[in-house]
Every structure is written in structure tokens, then in C-alpha cells.
Structure 1
Amino acid sequence: MTGITALKTDRRSFFHRLARSASFPLVLLAACLLWLEDWLWEPLAQLMQRLGRLPLLCRIEALIRAAPPWLALACYGIPMLVLLPFKFAGLWLFARGHFLFGGGVFLLAKIAGTAVAAHLFTLTRASLMKLAWFARLYAGFMKLRDYAYCRVRRNRLWRLTRIGRWRLGRKLRSLA
């Protein structure tokens, strides 16, 4: 290997390592948001399912389940778009220094959006998966989510935190 080739390889590996380490906080933030959504998904879907037992909502849900793919997409997407301004308002308030109020607005919009999305996705999933582009997008999203989780789990600080939490739990159990 010539000196110039070795220098180019070293420079590429340096920039690659720099990009990977600089991107980790963004991956961590994305993983935290995805984890929050995953954590809330099932309980909120069950809560919405209980609300769906009301007679009027039961009839509406039956119509949504029977909807063709494009109508199912509208039924799934429109409520998410309605909640988007509230999320932006929460972020705007947060950026303006109203940390508690802005964070609260954003968090409430996120929880409401997750509850509605979880329930509507349960109702429309079979129909939505008939749209080839949606099925590919969903598969890609799941791969991206798994990548973010895997990257965070491989991080040394994450592993040390998990080990510390495990040791603390063991010590607390031994005291009880």
C-alpha cells in the first residue's frame, strides 16, 4: 500500500468514526422516542379498545375495518395530521423557554397521538398492508427502529448502566 493510499484510508476511517460518534446522540434521541412509543403502544391500544365498545364507536370501527386500503390510509393518517400542530406548538413553547408547559403540551399530544395511532393501526393494518408501498415503508421503519435500538444497546455507557442497574437490584433484593 502506498503512502497516499494509506493516508486516504486513514482519513476516511477518521471521518467515518467522527460521523458515527456525532450521530449517536441523534440515534439515542430517536431510540428514546421510539421506546416511549413502544412502551405506550399496547396499554393505550387497550384503553382505546375499551372506549371502542361504546355503541356509536363500535359502528364506526366496523366501517373503518371494512374500508378499502386508500380510505383506511386516510382514517389512519388524518388524526395524526390533526395532532401535529399541537406537537409543534409544544416544541415552540419549549424553545421559547416555557419548558414545563411546552414539554407538557408535546407529551400530551404524543400520548394522544400514540393512543389514536395504536388503535387505528389495529383496525386498519390488514387493509394498509395491501398497499405495497405502505408495507415496504412499514418494514423499513421496523428495520430502522431495530437499528436504533441495537446501536444504543451496543453503546458502552448503555451497557454499564444496565450492569449497574442489575447490581443495584441484586443488592436491594439481598437486603430485603
Structure 2
Amino acid sequence: MEQGTALIDRVKARLARAFWFTLALIFLIESWLWDNVKEWLRALEKALGLERLEAWLEGLVSRLSPQMTLALFAVPMIGVLPLKVAALAILAHGHFLTGVVFIFAVKALTLGVEAFLFDICRDKLLEMQWFGRFYSLVLDVRAWASMLVKPYKARLAELGRALRAYAEGVIGKDGGDFSRRIARLRELARPRRET
């Protein structure tokens, strides 16, 4: 009986660790998207010549109350609901891969737009005490998630270095013999011109 209880306790502990690790990983992926998609949108904004949009939004936010700024900040989340419903419809019609890709694309776009808007709205939103506490909590959770995932990232980096070293051992640092062999095969595969 004790062995069964000990086994159940070990399984529970492993499941709890797996749950928290998965939650931390999802949070960090969202944070990564938040940080990077925003920059991609800024690059798109510059490429399309829409730099005035940011200045216009900053002017608009400066005239809004913190509560109205929060409403402006929430617009993209509400605006993508029809796209999320469309993604679920795609999934329901059996197009799993297309639906999943669509969901991730909508999620990435939403996070990017939210991050872009947050940079503009942050000061006004932080005027609300409850939002400041929530923002502080999110930063604490991000730090916790980073600490939880850090050992696994280190192991992956070590594995990457080992794989790179192995590949260099097989291929050579600059490709050496392997590159020459590939070039020779390409040369042999090219059709010969009659001169």
C-alpha cells in the first residue's frame, strides 16, 4: 500500500513540474512574440511609410483618460475575435494544419499589435494603480518563468554546441573534403556542352 502511495506522489510531483514548466514555456514564447513581432511591425510600418501613424497614436493617447486608453489598448483583442472564430471553423472542417497555422498567425499578429500599442499607452495605463500592480505581477511571472526554463535552455545550448562540434568533425570546419566532394558531384551532374 505504501509503495502505491509513494508512486502516486512521485507521479503527482512530476506532473506538477511538467505543468509549471509548460506554463512557463508558453509564457516565455508569448513574451518572445511580444518583443519580436512588435519590432517586425515597426519595420513594416517604416517600409510602408507609416511612421506618422505612431506619432498620431501618441497624440491621441495623450488626450485620452487612462480608462479610454485601456479601451483603445483592448481594441485589437476584440478585433481579432472574428479571425479566431474563422480559425476554429477551418479546424472544424478538417483542415488541421491550416487552422493551427492560422491560429498562430492571428496570435502573433495580435501580440505584435498589442506590444506596439503598449509602448505608446504604457505611461497612461500605469496611471491606474491596479494596472501598475498587474504589470508588476506580469514582470515577476516573466522573471520566474525565465528562471524555471534557464537550466533547460542551457542544456539545449550545450547540445547545440556538441552537435555543431560533431558536424565540424564529420564535415570539417570550412566544409573541407565534404564541400569539395559535393562540388565534384555537382560538376559531374551538369550536362556537358558540345564544343
**Quick check: TM above 0.5?**
yes
The one-character-per-residue Cα deviations of 1:48-76 (angstroms, maximum 9, x if unpaired) are: 4775434x774344112332211111111
CA contact (8 A) 1:45 1:115 kept: no
1:28 aligns with 2:25: yes
Give me the whole-angstrom Cα distance separating, in 1, the residues matched to 2:113 and 2:99. 21
Q: 1:152 aligns with which of 130, 149, 154?
A: 149
Residues 37 and 94 of structure 1: CA distance in aligned 2, closer, same or farther (over 3 Å): farther
Q: 1:164 aligns with which of 147, 159, 162?
A: 159
Q: 1:80 aligns with which of 77, 80, 83?
A: 77
Residues 16 and 92 of structure 1: CA distance in aligned 2, closer, same or farther (over 3 Å): farther
Residues 128 and 99 of structure 1: CA distance in aligned 2, closer, same or farther (over 3 Å): same
The count of residues paired between Structure 1 and Structure 2 equals 165
- The range that moved more, 118-127 or 80-89, is 80-89
Give me the whole-angstrom Cα distance separating, in 2, the residues matched to 1:99 and 1:37. 25
Q: Which residue of 2 aligns with 1:44?
A: 41
- The range that moved more, 163-172 or 106-115, is 163-172
Q: Which residue of 1 aligns with 2:105?
A: 108
Give me the whole-angstrom Cα distance separating, in 2, the residues matched to 1:22 and 1:124. 33
Structure with higher RCO (Cα < 8 A, 6+ apart) = 2
Q: 1:125 aligns with which of 90, 105, 122?
A: 122
The one-character-per-residue Cα deviations of 1:22-51 (angstroms, maximum 9, x if unpaired) are: 443343334333333333233324544775
Corresponding residue SS for 1:175: coil
Residues 142 and 20 of structure 1: CA distance in aligned 2, closer, same or farther (over 3 Å): same
Q: Which residue of 2 aligns with 1:175?
A: 173
Which residue identity does 1:160 align to in structure 2? R
Pairwise CA distance, 1:97: 3.5
Pairwise CA distance, 1:130: 0.6
Residues 97 and 33 of structure 1: CA distance in aligned 2, closer, same or farther (over 3 Å): farther
Pairwise CA distance, 1:128: 0.3
Ranges in structure 1 where 5+ consecutive residues have no aligned partner: 1-7
TM, length-normalised to structure 2: 0.66
Q: Which residue of 1 aligns with 2:63?
A: 66
Ranges in structure 2 where 5+ consecutive residues have no aligned partner: 175-195
Residues 88 and 32 of structure 1: CA distance in aligned 2, closer, same or farther (over 3 Å): farther
Which residue identity does 1:100 align to in structure 2? L
**Percent identical:** 29
